[in-house]
Structure 1
Amino acid sequence: MLKFENCRIGHDHLLYEIPLLELKRSEFVALIGANGSGKSTLMDSLIQGKFSQGKVSVEGRNWNDLKLTERAHQITLVDNHFLGFDYLKVNEYLELGRHSYTNFTGRLSAEDRSIVQKYVETLHLEKVLDQSTSTLSDGERQRVGIAKALIQETPIILLDEPTAFLDYPTKKEVMSLLGRIATESNRLVIIASHDIDFCIEYCSRILIIEKESKMLESHQQILHDELVRRAFGISS
């Protein structure tokens, strides 16, 4: 589904390498590394379609060769900060998820509106549709951001620190939700996270930016102490 071959991650200098990695639909994947290790750099490169070295492919197609609209139909990044959209009503913000499917008028079709309504109901957002995005709680903001990504209907969903600033019960709710989205919607969900224990509990695969070797390692099962040693170079 999403395949990396001989990739070197980093804009100005090497942060880490990905010799070979293939991620599949229905996987819930955690990307873990120290601050500044390159978690956000990888996500930015995927969104922008910029890999200077190596090959990244989606469903067998070279990622660098895809047009902007084609990439928008394959991958989306959940933005729970609503940058540039912080005073829209929630329903207006959610409708932006269909933008890449509309014609030059930007008007939503009946099918588009049906898709929006489907995910409003799935994530129980009916009560906040008329609210400004700036008035939402942290948990509501995260669910609205996830809903917009689902409305875009991409097979790959990226989330950068989706549980940051959430309380314990909401963290569990969000992680459980993302796991269900991956399996029930047959999507690849990738999160960058520092919530190690939640990732071990809920994710089907852990990707570690190895501090010593500067390589991205893939684990389907790993113990907490071993993960900490590999990612941060310390014993917990």
Structure 2
Amino acid sequence: MTMQAAHDVLSTRQMRAVLAVLERCEELGDGPDFKEGLAEAIARYFDVRDVTFFHGRTYSTIFDDPAPVLTGATESLLSAYHERWRDKDVFTLPQARRALTENGFATLDELSRLPVPQHSYVVDYLHPNDMDTASAMHLQLADGEALIGMFDKVRTWEASDVVAVRMLARQLRARTVSVSVADASVDELAALTPRQREVAALVSEGLSNAEIAERLFLSELSIKKYISRIFEATGHRNRSELATAVLRHDRRASA
């Protein structure tokens, strides 16, 4: 939906909320400030009691975020979530993932026929903690993916509300593809061996596997194995992400 078409569906209040969040994000830099600022803006302008921001290298690792942004009722629940509920989160379901990655926003009410574990998550975890309504926004980032969770005791998402948040998600996605939210002080390459760092550096120079193999006097198969292990150790999904991480590491080292 275009901005003009949205004007025909959304109220003045909803349009102002979308624009206010976008304007706030333009003021934010990378890193934790972006996470906290976006969560705060959504809570304020869309009148949501509790907003969370979980980040991961891939969609499936979002739910393992050890240090998400948490607000309100969610702040004291992280340990219980990690210990018992993260693999039962309703937004881990394939139908939720499809809706989120395609549309940018999904509500609990849109998910039908919850399996037993996810039903238990809603009844035994969300409801007792005054989170009777739940929804999430999905964003693609320069360093992974994120889910912004929205929880409240009572919150009815009208059809126009859903349109507003989905429009916000589309607009945010155009911005967040260049945003990194991981703590810049964390060395993403710390877990690599010296040889793996050497291979990663050559990847960042744009060399192919064959060229790296020739440079290091190794077989191309060995280089493929090295790169696979590097991806596994760092969580990066492709050569471009790895190259960005190497350049970021080098900038910190020379600062």
Report the TM-score when normalising by structure 1: 0.30
More strand by share: 1
Larger radius of gyration: 2
Higher relative contact order by CA 8 Å / sep ≥ 6: 1 or 2? 1
More helix by share: 2
